[in-house]
Amino acid sequence: MSFQHFKSFYQGKKVFVTGHTGFKGAWLMACLHEMEAIPKGYALAPTYENGLFGILEPLRIGESVIADIRDRQKLKDEILSFQPDFIFHLAAQPLVRRSYEIPAETFDVNVTGTANVLEAAGSLQKKCSVIVITTDKVYENKEEDILYKETDTLGGYDPYSASKACAELVVNSFRNSFFNPRNDTQHKPSLASVRAGNVIGGGDWNKDRLVPDIVKSLMLPEVIKVRNPKAVRPWQHVLEPIAGYLQLGKLLYESPERYAQAYNFGPMPGDHLSVQEFVETAILSWGVGAWEDVSDRAQPHEAGLLKLDISKAMNELNWKPKFKASLAIEWTLNWYKKTLDKQASYTLQQINEYFTQ
């Protein structure tokens, strides 16, 4: 899956991206810009300063609509006027700890918002690949050392995880009812969902995220405060799942009856790190730093062990991760080491380096 592989396919294609002002959405928009696609973003304004969207904005990487996916008519109007060939739905309330503070709003955004996107997409009278991005946390997590595969039971302890599991049910319902691949797909959208692990990379300053917490502490400098150091996660650089999304989008466009399914994207089975291992690797990469355990039993529940089975994506999509977790951490911290005026060009440099490996 080289850069030319994607550019030859996406060049000139219209791609509608919800959540383009967020961390992963901005990276996707940058990739599409480099591949000479025609991207259009739809999302709320950024919630933090110096995020990737704002850094890339002067490059004019695509049209940007600042609006809420819960505004059903506005969303539908923007999709129908654009007539996209692809829709990547990333807009969400993405934070576990925040979901404990605003549970109803989390469900509203992540479930009803997804239904709004799919209802609007269903109004298109043309071929269109729709990819809904959920999360690795959609599974009923038994806190056991197992790899969760796409056919495992959906669940979710906290409101964020449960809302994303509900979004998967919405996807399945729309796929059966309105996007059924068994029916004529030549003039209808097709629908798949993707479940990625804990994604890291430059330009993320979200609250209660491990990398922003680490980088802020290293820059001050101060001791890194770590919650749940023994928790194990499927860490991966943001470009890993994006490459998977783009590959799935291409295959879904070409053979919707085969690829209208759910897929996991994550690291190789033996490459899941604990939070402690992640932090210590980050400190080594930065060159200096220290951390302390600030775990508090009164804090909201977060999963202690989560691993993904990525064999389906590897076998069916011909996708596999290029980076070990250690390299993903190194690439991420290298981005944050750049001065603000260099981060946009370095983002594009990393994109081109990743896809030419």
Expressed in angstroms, the distance from the first to the final Cα of the chain is 9
At 350, which amino acid appears? Answer: Q
Q: According to the model, what pLDDT value does residue 59 have? A: 85
Is 274 within 8 Å of 231 (Cβ atoms)? yes
In terms of Cα–Cα distance, which of 237, 223, 202 is closest to 288? 223
Domains of the chain: 3-355 (3.40.50.720)
CB atoms within 10 A of CB 42: 28
Q: Which helix (H) or strand (E) holds 236?
A: strand 235-237
Q: According to the model, what pLDDT value does residue 67 have? A: 98
- pTM (two decimals): 0.94
| HSE-CB for 228 with a 13 A CA cutoff | 17
- Enumerate the β-bridge partners of residue 194: 133, 263
The Cα diameter of the chain in Å comes to 59
* Residue corresponding to tokens 């860490």: 235
Q: According to the model, what pLDDT value does residue 295 have? A: 83
Is 250 within 8 Å of 1 (Cβ atoms)? no
In terms of Cα–Cα distance, which of 57, 66, 73 is closest to 91? 66
Q: Rounded distance, CA 220 to CA 222, Å?
A: 6
Q: According to the model, what pLDDT value does residue 38 have? A: 97
Q: Which residues of the chain have pLDDT under 70?
A: 1, 184-187, 297-304
Phi, psi of 29 (to 5 degrees): -60, -40
In terms of Cα–Cα distance, which of 267, 268, 279, 271 is closest to 228? 279
